[in-house]
Structure 1
Amino acid sequence: MVITRNGLVLGATAVTLSTIAVTSLGIHSQGQALFKESPKELVDEVWQIINKQYVDGTFNQVDWKAVRSEYLNKSYTNKEEAYKSIREMLKKLDDPYTRFMDPEEFKNMQVDTSGELTGIGIQIGLDEKTKKLTVIAPIEDTPAFKAGILAKDTIIYINGKSTEGMDTNEAVSLIRGEPGTKVNLTILREGQRKEFTITRARIEIHPVEFSEKQTPAGNIGYIRLKQFSANAAKEMRDAIRNLESKQVAGYVLDLRNNPGGLLYSSVEIARMWMDRGTIVSTIDRRGEAEREMANGRALTNKPLVVLVDKGSASASEILSGALQDNKRAVVVGSQTFGKGLVQSVRPLDDGSGLAVTIAKYHTPLGRDINKHGIDPNIVVDLSDKQRQDLWIKEREKVATQADPQFAKAVEVLGKEIAAKGTNAQRN
């Protein structure tokens, strides 16, 4: 997500199960005081926003004007009745990412990824095909990650309550809580039910880790990007500069289990690797595209391999897609999550909030990766058991030759380094 000049929040992510202060954004500035006396005004405000901004001008084949008549002809005696009607109204769009949040839900959603989080550390959404509550990815080194929750897990019960028909707001309210308290999740993974009891905690996220590695490909730089948070670009810049000073021969950029974050953080980071070319295009309901371009200020042109898996989502897919389409990097690993939609999250007059799908994004070559993801140039799939063993039980093997995806990345990087050296000699 990213806060734009007009105060909206644009994002390529789903809901993060954590809470964070939002007062610095001014979201609650005068919202409570400005709320109109009639709850019907709030219903119409939501309708108008959807009418003007929703990505599909047919409203997913819904007669949106008829919807307005239906819900404005109702009488409302309190806000709760208005909230119920708004949720019914939005449900007609059949879009899991367009959702209403009451003031408490809005207050607790993650609108800024800088700072300390409180929760279990997963991002969730409704699967667009199955409409089931699905884990997009656990955030590395959080309680959910350490417990063994994996990307694509389907959450079927929360504290014994079925999630059938449950929206993400209700799921968030059930899962979040005070640090030290526990939540029970029942998940479905490859047809098998699994039970998890997870203790909530305060979570501090350091988005970038890097190191110099001696490998069969030579002295290389390894950079792990865990999340596209507000300070990810600065930390990435520092990492590249540090490794450049050590004269590494090439890089492995690890985006595995990275659920996304700030849309424009991915653009900034792409510019550190690319001197020229398109990074991403966002397409609105009129088909108009806004293009983000490289700006000729790359920090390195050395060979690059990017690692991805099914936990790489949204902003991770923007970055890996840009580097792949521009032939700046070879992408190695598993097919990514597949979330190519952009939401605008905006405050409403009574302190509640509305998330609206306003655009979709395409890679530089025009690929719409929504529901499909990025296909690696070189596929190295791991089973769920292999992933869990690697990331949870045997973490010391991550980014070593005992890590099959990393080992393949090093092999590929070695060939890229050799090819570049040969070309340089010819020139």
Structure 2
Amino acid sequence: MVITKSRLVLGATAVTLSTIAVTGLGIHSRGQALFKASPKELVDEVWQIVYRQYVDGTFNQVDWQAVRKEYLDKSYTNQEEAYKSIREMLKKLEDPYTRFMDPEEFKNMQVDTSGELTGVGITISQDEETKQLVVIAPIEDTPAFKIGILAKDIIVEIDGKNTKGMDTNEAVSLIRGEVGTKVKLTILRDGEKKVFDVTRARIEIHPVKFSEKQTPAGNLGYIRLNQFSANAGKEMRDAIRKLETKNVSGYVLDLRGNPGGLLFSSIEIARMWLDKGIIVSTINRQGEKEREVARGRALTTKPLVVLVDKGSASASEILSGALQDNKRATIVGSQTFGKGLVQSVRPLTGDAGLAVTIAKYHTPSGKDINKHGIDPDVVVDLTDAQREELWLKERDKLATLADPQFAKAVEILGRQATDNSVNTNNN
């Protein structure tokens, strides 16, 4: 089955953070339509995909052939036993981003990437070293966001169940539930435990919000991008075009707390700001590179500042990295999350799915941001207390001069406008 550009995904929303290339997501393959695999055939199907595609040819120093023999020598009486063995098998890779999804989990992932989800509104990942569940970012205006959960919070308990070593699929199944019901999340933040009773809801994500801002630097266009969902590109294009009719002098693009989404969307949006240059490179097991580039169709060339923080992840890092390396924008804020691994998500027989790490990505200048993130051009760090106050308690101050990161963006755009004016006069 061909992997098409339009089905590339970054960050399985509310499951785990990674870069994902989706193969035929939501479409049954011909094999699926004709038969339902036996449990042992499903185990081998997963093994074969990892064998052919996994990014590390040593399988993280695991004897993958011996693993196949171990698990195919077992007897299976039902699919649940196969699911358990598959998860055990994949755990040997010690890669939290290579994961099996049973039919319900796989269906949930498809819903997530469509721009609507049911749950509390957080994106989570498992820390590769500590094996703790970490909040990448709460999705804006969702129950988790409103109640005060923050990026980098560690989830230590879900309804009283300890999460140490728990994989993200299990965590998601515990956190999700019927709309209107509650889930108790025990969070570790700066060494202190906090308990949140969060009410589940159906969450429809509107990725783009925009407005004009009258500032000391002039009339600026402010665009807030919450997530790279299926309709983010269209909404971003509409926002830029409408703001261009208002004759704004520059733009602030706010990616703070944006956990990622569709890769195609991040590339599409990068092309709205860039006329030329590389956007992102992916490197596979053979060391081969695939590059996405701008196409000379930028919607505006006006000055741009991008706001980021530790909740800006994956697709956000691709976009901000592309704009930074091509010197199209000034990046302001805090160091970003740091996720640069690429996964392929495959439908399996029986309606299950598999995400397998197949590559990593680099920014245009060749930087590997995995576990590090994007370093802002201008660092303006906020404490958790400042972020909580700004994003939750006094939202009316967000994207105003009382917002330190936005204020710095205004200062930079004002300085650029002055420099441009001087240069024009000198000419």
Please tell me the TM-score bracket, short chain as reference: over 0.9
Determine the structure 2 residue equivalent to 1:374. Answer: 374
Shift of 1:204: 1.6
Summarize deviations over 1:101-123 as a string: whole Å, max 9, x none. 11122222245533432111111
5 Å matches for 1:331-342? 331-342=331-342
CA distance in 1, matches of 2:34, 2:164: 37
**Is 1:26–2:24 an aligned residue pair?**
no
TM-score by length of 2: 0.94
CA distance in 2, matches of 1:119, 1:350: 25
Q: Verify the 8 A CA contact 1:17 1:120 in the aligned structure 2.
A: no
CA distance in 2, matches of 1:45, 1:391: 45
CA distance in 1, matches of 2:247, 2:406: 21
Q: Verify the 8 A CA contact 2:25 2:346 in the aligned structure 1.
A: no
5 Å matches for 1:277-356? 277-356=277-356
Determine the structure 2 residue equivalent to 1:402. Answer: 402
TM-score by length of 1: 0.94
Shift of 1:29: 7.8
Q: Verify the 8 A CA contact 1:17 1:121 in the aligned structure 2.
A: no
Q: Verify the 8 A CA contact 1:128 1:371 in the aligned structure 2.
A: no
Structure 2 unaligned runs (5+)?
17-23
* Structure 1 residues 332 and 115: CA distance shift in structure 2, 3 A: closer
5 Å matches for 1:15-414? 15-16=13-14, 25-27=26-28, 31=32, 34-36=35-37, 38-110=38-110, 113-414=113-414
CA distance in 1, matches of 2:107, 2:138: 22
Shift of 1:17: 5.9
Shift of 1:10: 3.6
* Structure 1 residues 237 and 10: CA distance shift in structure 2, 3 A: closer
Shift of 1:282: 0.8
Summarize deviations over 1:199-244 as a string: whole Å, max 9, x none. 0111121111111111011111111111111111111111111111
Q: Verify the 8 A CA contact 1:10 1:345 in the aligned structure 2.
A: no
Summarize deviations over 1:7-50 as a string: whole Å, max 9, x none. 9x5432144269xxxx99334887375222x3111111000000
What is the DSSP-based 3-state SS (H/G/I as helix, E as strand, rest coil) of the residue aligned with 2:113? Answer: coil
Summarize deviations over 1:73-96 as a string: whole Å, max 9, x none. 222222222111111110010001
Summarize deviations over 1:126-146 as a string: whole Å, max 9, x none. 012221111111100000000
Q: Verify the 8 A CA contact 1:32 1:351 in the aligned structure 2.
A: no
* Structure 1 residues 6 and 337: CA distance shift in structure 2, 3 A: closer
* Structure 1 residues 173 and 342: CA distance shift in structure 2, 3 A: same
Q: Verify the 8 A CA contact 2:214 2:220 in the aligned structure 1.
A: yes
Q: Verify the 8 A CA contact 1:10 1:342 in the aligned structure 2.
A: no
Shift of 1:363: 0.2
CA distance in 2, matches of 1:282, 1:111: 26
Q: Verify the 8 A CA contact 2:25 2:347 in the aligned structure 1.
A: no
Q: Verify the 8 A CA contact 2:5 2:264 in the aligned structure 1.
A: no
Determine the structure 1 residue equivalent to 2:4. Answer: 5
CA distance in 1, matches of 2:193, 2:127: 18
CA distance in 1, matches of 2:29, 2:367: 38
Residue type of the alignment partner of 1:179: V
CA distance in 2, matches of 1:12, 1:204: 18
CA distance in 2, matches of 1:422, 1:25: 55
What is the DSSP-based 3-state SS (H/G/I as helix, E as strand, rest coil) of the residue aligned with 1:100? Answer: strand
Residue type of the alignment partner of 2:308: V
Summarize deviations over 1:357-404 as a string: whole Å, max 9, x none. 111110000000011100100100001111011000000000001001
Structure 1 unaligned runs (5+)?
none
Q: Verify the 8 A CA contact 2:26 2:110 in the aligned structure 1.
A: no
Q: Verify the 8 A CA contact 1:280 1:363 in the aligned structure 2.
A: yes
Residue type of the alignment partner of 1:12: L
Q: Number of matched residues?
A: 419
* Structure 1 residues 146 and 121: CA distance shift in structure 2, 3 A: same
Deviates more, 1:114-123 or 1:209-218: 114-123
CA distance in 2, matches of 1:293, 1:408: 30
Determine the structure 1 residue equivalent to 2:19. Answer: none
Shift of 1:55: 1.0
CA distance in 1, matches of 2:25, 2:60: 36
Summarize deviations over 1:33-71 as a string: whole Å, max 9, x none. 5222x3111111000000111111111111111111111
CA distance in 2, matches of 1:30, 1:46: 15
CA distance in 2, matches of 1:398, 1:27: 44
